[in-house]
Amino acid sequence: MDHFALNQGVLHAEDVPLPRIAQEVGTPVYVYSRATLTRHARVFAEALDGVPDKLVAFAVKANPNLAVLKVLASEGYGADVVSGGELMRALAAGIPAEKVVFSGVGKTRAELELGLEKGIGQFNIESREEGRELAELATALGKQAPATLRINPDVDAKTHEKISTGKAENKFGIPLVHAREAYAELAALEGLNLRGVAVHIGSQLLDLEPLETAFGKVGQLIADLRATGHTISHVDLGGGLGVPYKSGEVPPSPAEYGAMVARVTRDWGVHLTFEPGRVIAGNAGVLMTRVVRVKRGGNGPPFVIVDAAMNDLARPALYGAWHDFEAVEPTGERMTANIVGPICETGDTFARDRECDALQSGDLAIFRTAGAYGATMASSYNSRGFVAEVMVSGSDYAIVANRIPAMDIMSAEPIPEWLD
Ligand code: LLP
């Protein structure tokens, strides 16, 4: 459930009519609902009531906006970060360092050092090489790095190939066949407090079965590692739970996910970490756009050209992803359209042959489910600026990310003297 709904014929975010935001902040603009974020955070946490000892760490990559992180910090969430930049954002938003988990296959030396200096709660190590490097850095600082070993369970998560992470051919984690050996080597290093394993098989998962299979393999590995004398106290189960992008789509609920996790992990006797991203933020945000003009198609439906483009919301161009598209003030009339942005390539298409609200030049519309992997994946392609982000709270709203105009980006490009 979200808080973007029609009120007297006008789409509102909570109690704020969207046309007001469009008028005062301009378009395109991302609009987040604080009440929706809070609700999702609580629903997910409550779904894990059956798991006694846990940390829910929001996957910052899904939406790194500081205001968003602050809302989640106040719900007691930790942060799953994958770069020094995300780590600094989590801390700046008030998430305590001990609730920060550092994932990612390519953490640099500088990033590992930053994590150690800040005293983060856990490093999820993705290779022996990374483990050795972290141990060496920690020893030099007189510290021991709390860590888990991320394994690659070779499970098909049945999601888009670009967001699958747990198949043997994916770059993530250590293949299960090498896990025991790698664990033994790294557990013996003085600079590491290797205390368990981590797994994450992919994103936008619409079926719990692959997750359960992967968790089953983790359970087996825990038993094997314990049998060889290791103490396993922490397991990180990653994120991945999908959300409905298309009205009518019904992904597994957080409650179903929580019940499965509680059942599978009942006898593990460990502290569990979860790294949900999309399920928390996805439906807590929309991208509002204005129709620039409607242009007749060649032999197909008309092109509704909006002022948002693939640089602002990359998912349709990158993954062929579907985002529901609705008029902010629907008339009840419908049309079939190709919904496109102004960028000069055909990939800048949000939807083809889409049945949607009838729209004319100047009308406002939204792309739904843009709160996760939306603004954060923006670029300035075609010398377009970065769009503003707004958070609504009841009848208030505030700009939580300024629009960065194309001219500001240009001003960060010094011209060498020898070209002048
Ligand atoms: N933990 C790890 C280690 C991850 O790699 C990810 C996502 C998550 C947690 C959070 O997954 P979630 O709960 O959000 O599914 N840009 C793509 C999604 C990439 C996801 C990458 N990893 C998209 O727009 O669909």
- Write the CA distances from 376 to 44, 62, 136, 259, 410, integer angstroms: 22, 7, 33, 31, 20
Whether 273 lines ligand 1, by a CB cut-off of 6 Å, is: no
The alpha carbon of 238 and the centre of ligand 1 are apart by a number of angstroms equal to 9
- Looking at the CA of residue 205, tell me the nearest atom of ligand 1: 15
Whether 62 lines ligand 1, by a CB cut-off of 6 Å, is: yes
> Higher-confidence residue: 161 or 369?
369
195 pLDDT more than 90: yes
The alpha carbon of 224 and the centre of ligand 1 are apart by a number of angstroms equal to 29
55 pLDDT more than 90: yes
In this structure, CATH architecture of domain 104-274: Alpha-Beta Barrel (3.20)
Per-chain mean pLDDT for the chain:
97
The alpha carbon of 329 and the centre of ligand 1 are apart by a number of angstroms equal to 33
> Domain segments of the chain: what residues?
4-32+282-410, 104-274
Whether 111 lines ligand 1, by a CB cut-off of 6 Å, is: no
Q: What is the pLDDT averaged over residues 69-93?
A: 98
Pocket test for ligand 1, best of 203, 273, 369 (most atoms within 8 A of CB): 203
Q: Give the span between the Cα atoms of 186 and 197, in whole angstroms.
A: 12
Q: Give the span between the Cα atoms of 268 and 416, in whole angstroms.
A: 60
Supply the pTM of this predicted model: 0.97
Q: Give the span between the Cα atoms of 398 and 390, in whole angstroms.
A: 6
CATH number of 4-32+282-410: 2.40.37.10
Alpha helices in 266-345 (DSSP H): 278-281, 315-319
Predicted local confidence at residue 363, as pLDDT: 98
- Looking at the CA of residue 315, tell me the nearest atom of ligand 1: 24
Whether 275 lines ligand 1, by a CB cut-off of 6 Å, is: yes
Provide the β-strand partners of residue 58. 79
> Higher-confidence residue: 247 or 307?
307
247 pLDDT more than 90: no
Q: Give the span between the Cα atoms of 338 and 299, in whole angstroms.
A: 12
Whether 276 lines ligand 1, by a CB cut-off of 6 Å, is: yes
User: In the chain, pLDDT over 90 holds for what percent of residues?
Assistant: 94
- Domain 4-32+282-410 identical in fold to domain 104-274: no
23 pLDDT more than 90: yes
Q: Is 192 helix (H, G, I), strand (E, B) or coil?
A: strand
Whether 278 lines ligand 1, by a CB cut-off of 6 Å, is: yes
Catalytic residues: 344
Whether 240 lines ligand 1, by a CB cut-off of 6 Å, is: yes
Provide the β-strand partners of residue 390. 31, 399
Q: Is 16 helix (H, G, I), strand (E, B) or coil?
A: strand
248 pLDDT more than 90: no
Predicted local confidence at residue 163, as pLDDT: 82
Predicted local confidence at residue 36, as pLDDT: 98
Contacts of 255 (CB under 8 A, 6+ apart): 47
Predicted local confidence at residue 271, as pLDDT: 98
Whether 373 lines ligand 1, by a CB cut-off of 6 Å, is: yes
Q: Give the span between the Cα atoms of 81 and 280, in whole angstroms.
A: 15
Handedness of CA 47, 51, 53, 58 (dihedral sign): negative
The alpha carbon of 342 and the centre of ligand 1 are apart by a number of angstroms equal to 28
Predicted local confidence at residue 273, as pLDDT: 98
Cis peptide, bond prior to residue 405, ω within 30 of zero = no
Whether 59 lines ligand 1, by a CB cut-off of 6 Å, is: yes
Predicted local confidence at residue 357, as pLDDT: 98
Q: Residue 277, Cα to own-chain centre: how many angstroms? A: 4
Query: What is the band of 162 on the pLDDT scale with cuts at 50, 70, 90?
Result: confident
Query: What is the band of 159 on the pLDDT scale with cuts at 50, 70, 90?
Result: confident
Predicted local confidence at residue 168, as pLDDT: 84
The alpha carbon of 178 and the centre of ligand 1 are apart by a number of angstroms equal to 25
Q: Contact, 208 vs 154, CB < 8 A?
A: no
DSSP letters for 125-177: E-SHHHHHHHHHHHHHTT--EEEEEEEE------S-GGGB--STTSSSSEEHH
The alpha carbon of 239 and the centre of ligand 1 are apart by a number of angstroms equal to 7
Question: Ligand 1 atom 8: the closest Cα is on which residue?
Answer: 239
The alpha carbon of 163 and the centre of ligand 1 are apart by a number of angstroms equal to 7
102 pLDDT more than 90: yes
Query: What is the band of 48 on the pLDDT scale with cuts at 50, 70, 90?
Result: very high
The alpha carbon of 26 and the centre of ligand 1 are apart by a number of angstroms equal to 30
Express each pLDDT in 202-219 by its tens digit.
999 999 999 999 999 999
167 pLDDT more than 90: no
Alpha helices in 284-330 (DSSP H): 315-319
- Looking at the CA of residue 314, tell me the nearest atom of ligand 1: 24
> Higher-confidence residue: 170 or 365?
365
Strands 78-81 and 54-59, by their bridges, are parallel
Whether 131 lines ligand 1, by a CB cut-off of 6 Å, is: no
Q: Which two tokens stand for residue 284?
A: 């807590």
Q: What is the pLDDT averaged over residues 354-374?
A: 98
Pocket test for ligand 1, best of 55, 61, 161 (most atoms within 8 A of CB): 61
DSSP letters for 108-125: -HHHHHHHHHHT-SEEEE
Question: Ligand 1 atom 9: the closest Cα is on which residue?
Answer: 239
Whether 238 lines ligand 1, by a CB cut-off of 6 Å, is: yes
Q: Is 187 helix (H, G, I), strand (E, B) or coil?
A: helix
283 pLDDT more than 90: yes
Strands 285-295 and 29-33, by their bridges, are antiparallel
Express each pLDDT in 31-40 by its tens digit.
999 999 999 9
Predicted local confidence at residue 1, as pLDDT: 83
Q: Is 373 helix (H, G, I), strand (E, B) or coil?
A: coil
